[in-house]
Amino acid sequence: MIALEAQPFEFTFELATCALVIIDMQRDFIEPGGFGESLGNDVSLLSAIVPQCRAVLQAWRAAGALVVHTREAHRADLSDCPDAKRNRGNPRLRIGDAGPMGRILIAGEPGCEIVPELAPLPRETVIDKPGKGAFYATPLGALLRQAGITQLLFMGVTTEVCVQTSMREANDRGFECLLLEDCTESYFPQFKHATLEMVRAQGAIVGWTAPSTALLAALSRAEPVPR
Ligand code: TIU
């Protein structure tokens, strides 16, 4: 059993039954010229978390525990992208339009790929999701249950959109969730701050939060799981 100093209280977990879920660390959100910037956002904040995310990913891999990556990714024919999502706010560039990194948020296009520093290994699961939440219209829930996973550690972007939506979906499905505070970011710092507060409020109503340093320290003392 690994014990993490967390808020609002200690989070305990076993490596064999806990997965690291990395939400949408895609070039379209993090690099200039992608979908995030096309929505009018300053993307420079988001790339700052990549080193901490990488350190956690490497330590989690070394511990032998399960890693899941997600991407907000649509089919090339846009059959899984509702007009309500595509046209909302009459954006300059819409999902599926040609952007500087290929068609925006279309599976297989360069901008849709996960940033190279966090690239999935061939054996790691990558979930393409059409919504903001990682469980909606994906096999994630079934995959986690089959692997015997009961707890999830979250990293990724953006905190209040895809990360928070995914945590709430997971919480309602009976998973205990912890968000790594310095491994998530928003285009709006006040929204990140508010999300961390609301996740852990009311006795961890959605889940726990902890800094990556707490996890890294705990992992350095842990016995890796054979997988
Ligand atoms: N716009 C925004 O903050 N986020 C998204 O559209 N997707 C994710 O959060 N991945």
Looking from the CA of residue 23, the nearest atom of ligand 1 is: 10
Distance CA 123, CA 30 (A): 24
Ligand 1 mutation target, pool 23, 26, 28, 29, most atoms within 8 A of CB: 29
Distance 132 CA to ligand 1 centre (A): 7
Q: Which residues line ligand 1 (CB under 6 A)?
A: 24, 29, 39, 72, 132, 157-158, 161-162, 187
User: What is the whole-number distance in angstroms between the Cα of residue 227 and the centre of ligand 1?
Assistant: 33
Give residue 156's region: left, alpha or beta (phi > 0; psi -120 to 50). left
Tell me if residue 109 falls in helix, strand or coil.
coil
What does the alpha-carbon distance between residue 223 and residue 94 come to, in Å, rounded to a whole number? 47
Q: What is the pTM of this model?
A: 0.97
pLDDT in tens, the chain (227 residues): 999 999 999 999 999 999 999 999 999 999 988 888 888 899 999 999 999 999 999 999 999 999 999 999 999 999 999 999 999 988 888 999 999 899 999 999 999 999 999 999 999 999 999 999 999 999 999 999 999 999 999 999 999 999 999 999 999 999 999 999 999 999 999 999 999 999 999 999 999 999 999 999 999 998 888 76
Residue with tokens 């015997």: 148
Ligand 1 centroid, distance to 112 Cα (angstroms): 13
Find the 186 Cα to ligand 1 centroid distance in Å: 8
pLDDT of residue 12: 98
Give the number of the atom of ligand 1 that is nearest the alpha carbon of residue 72: 10
Residues recognised as catalytic: 24, 129, 162
Q: Could you give the CA distance from residue 67 to residue 131 in angstroms, rounded to a whole number? A: 20
Protein residue closest via CA to atom 8 of ligand 1? 162
Nearest CA to 178 among 28, 64, 21?
21
Closest atom of ligand 1 to 24 CA is 10
Say how many Å lie between the CA of residue 224 and the centre of ligand 1: 33
Closest CA to ligand 1's atom 7: 162
